[in-house]
Structure 1
């Protein structure tokens, strides 16, 4: 019977390449969560201009209107990160307890609750609660969606599919910028922003579960059916299934604790790099700029309306992120990160120069500079430092530790994002606008050196090759004459 099964498996041409259409479909479904992520980020910029009123107004719910002070608005824009900080490690637990698909479905509940809290908010506490809840959902989804995409993707398109997460984030941000410019009230704005949640729910509901998760739960038939769906009916999945199973058995035999992550050099090195990439991503000022984009353009005082300027920057961000997804597997991670940090530094220096000239009353001939600088800044970030830290987070670690290590990286990202977005407005008062942008530029310069000297290239490399680069012990090779542990013929 086993010989018959083996010959049946060999009827499938081993030379065939996997189908990519179903992989793109699965990745798109997961990335709809990223679009909702972007909508939540983008909401705070236009909504902030609707919520913040002159200092002589009362900041409470009066006659159907809720107003915030500048300080309250800083907290409102930044507290999303508190929820996401908690959601990251929680997501690591959920993806193993209820699956990647189950974890993503659970975030739909959080997203709906957060928008309903916003729509019916009657005080500052309700608004803050809504941002914490949406952050919690986003933190879970970042772990679940990236794990799901990484596990369904073939190695040849892993980078392209992984970068799709960031592309959908920026599309969501642009969605918020556009509707924020059209509607007059933040309640109606929130109602519109809630609509993509339902699309995300339907797409995930009909999606296949990750084959890796199914195999980890002993559901071999379901795992094979899932992997066959993502690779195409004519692709021989036997070898890939056997590799998945071997990886899982190795992971069970070599369980890793948090202490192991911190004391084993071959784990600590990639963990340090991943956390550093997240740190540099946020202290380049990307999140602080995006959630305060409308106010930055308003402060610049250019002739172009701030809502239109924000939309233009958002469109550039989409184009740049889409371009990045097309050649991220060709150019490589390292060169894109280095170039991204370099041009972000240049654009921030130019933006700081404009605000310095404005402070001394000599910026009349430089009215074009804020828009151009921010377009260059966002383009540079979108090509490199937007998607690649998230992508490399799933590439740098062996499967046995990717959940635990990713949680550290996620918490680094959200904690630094919280600090940057919360302190952005107070820093403007202390060191002026130009001082803030030059501070971010100096971080980008250090970042360039880090990318050149420390960051490895992971393009086209397997998990085993990347682990070997960091000095991981070589896995024990299996006997090539050993019969497959899973008989693929049982699904035919």
Structure 2
């Protein structure tokens, strides 16, 4: 009997998994953008067309994608409100494909720059739209699991880039990557628009149909009851003013979202992913750098699956705290390894240590700060400012990604790679303290209940 109930519950919720999975393929495309540089840059430097290009110019190949993602924030925030969540994904996918084709056919470094910028715009847009779409289409009891799909698919995209890049050259990898936005576009044509967005556009009939599709066998009465609750929340959100932005119910969640985006980047994850092969080469590890990179990517995917399973069981806060502690330890030890290498100490027996540190770091990131920064942005930002606030958070995230990836290259050249890891470790300590003091638990709460967490409690004399 219990099995039948569980099976019935799963089949009823299957449309939500399908919709979330289709949208999350956009995050898979973003993952290939992040993973492409690690295997492709060493390969590209050997090509006759690029052999004259300086290391400084090559460093911009990694850094320019976050610039594109940063620019995408205001654009996608505007599009979210004008053409919807689904419409934005459909519009941006062809631009994503164009970026990859420019890279694949590149005969100059400028074409690569242009392609990386456009793929950055596409990836940045998906990083904003996917959490918004998933959170608005999901029931509260599975929203954490479905929201974790963003980081899972990013990590899977990184693994695809690492693995395919081991067997093919940089241009072929670009062509392979271009197929993913095409698939996203095809699948999203079959998915409904966010019911919340349709209600915001006063299209209750379409919103009812969309929510009925997403809720499967749920009765029409239950669907209408949920729809009315969402409608009431939207009506309560209308008429936002500048003064409202300074109120605690908006300022607090926006501040938390920005802080998590800041800490997500300044723990060094993007720098590590962009330059994984180069890190192993610098470490002088006995392992083949490309094989070690694939191992790291595979473990990252496994950790993301575990995180998705734990998200609605353990909760957001505990996963963030475990994430921060494990990353701090891994970063500090990695810095120590490179310091010993610089001091010419005997580290022949420690060739395994860089891989272990990166595995611990990646697992920690994938359990907490990776998925939860984006998940919480979709959960805690009030619906009346979600478009603007999400755009701000996305641009802020990717601006910091650009600074971190560029700084990583410059710091390791000027004062040593060990200081990169130590700086990231120190910042992650502050991140953990911030989570412990400021970040609320949202597990199991509806979006409307989460908003109430930030409403000041009345005091009575």
Whole-angstrom CA distance in 2 between matches of 1:218 and 1:268: 27
Question: For residues 446 and 340 of structure 1, what CA distance do their matches in structure 2 show?
Answer: 13
Alignment of 1:171-320 (within 5 A): 171-183=156-168, 185-235=169-219, 236-252=222-238, 254-257=239-242, 260-261=244-245, 263-320=246-303
How far is 1:462 from its partner? 2.7
Question: Which deviates more, 173-182 or 210-219?
Answer: 210-219
Q: After TM superposition, give the deviation of residue 473 of structure 1 in Å.
A: 8.0
Show the counterpart of 2:40.
Answer: 47
User: How many equivalent residue pairs?
Assistant: 447
Distance 1:358 1:121, change over 3 A: same
Partner of 1:377: 361
**Structure 2: gaps (5+ residues):** 1-7
Cα-Cα RMSD: 1.7
Q: Deviations over 1:393-412 (max 9, x none)?
A: 11112211222221221121
* Cα distance between partner residues in 1 of 2:394 and 2:284: 36
Q: Note the C-alpha offset of 1:446.
A: 1.3
Q: For residues 371-411 of structure 1, what are the alpha-carbon distances to aligned partners after superposition, in whole Å with 9 as ceiling and x for unaligned?
A: 00000000000000100000011111221122222122112
Question: What residue number does 2:315 align with?
Answer: 332
Runs of 4+ in 1 over 6 A off after TM superposition: none
Deviation at 1:143, TM superposition (A): 2.0
Q: Which structure has the greater CA radius of gyration? A: 1
2:4 is matched with which residue?
Answer: none
Considering fraction of residues, name the structure with more helix: 2
Report the equivalent of 1:119.
Answer: 104
**Structure 2 partner of 1:426:** 410
Change (3 A) 1:204 1:464: closer
Query: For the residues of structure 1 that align with 2:348 and 2:9, how far apart are their CA atoms?
Result: 59
Partner Cα separation in structure 2 for residue 331 and residue 366 of structure 1: 35
Q: Are 2:330 and 2:361, in contact at CA under 8 Å, matched by a contact in 1?
A: yes
Unaligned stretches of 5+ in structure 1?
1-15, 54-60, 475-492
C-alpha separation in 2, matches of 1:308 and 1:17: 41
Among candidates 27, 52, 58, match of residue 73 of structure 1:
58
User: Could you say which residue in structure 2 is the equivalent of 1:343?
Assistant: 326
Distance in 2 (CA, whole Å) between partners of 1:175 and 1:402 is 32
Q: Which residue of 1 aligns with 2:26?
A: 33
TM-score norm. by structure 1 comes to 0.88
Q: What CA deviation, in whole Å up to 9, does each residue of 1:209-267 have, x standing for no partner?
A: 11122222232222111100100134320111101211222222x3244x632x22222
Q: Secondary structure in 2 aligned to 1:304?
A: coil
Q: Secondary structure at the match of 2:310?
A: helix
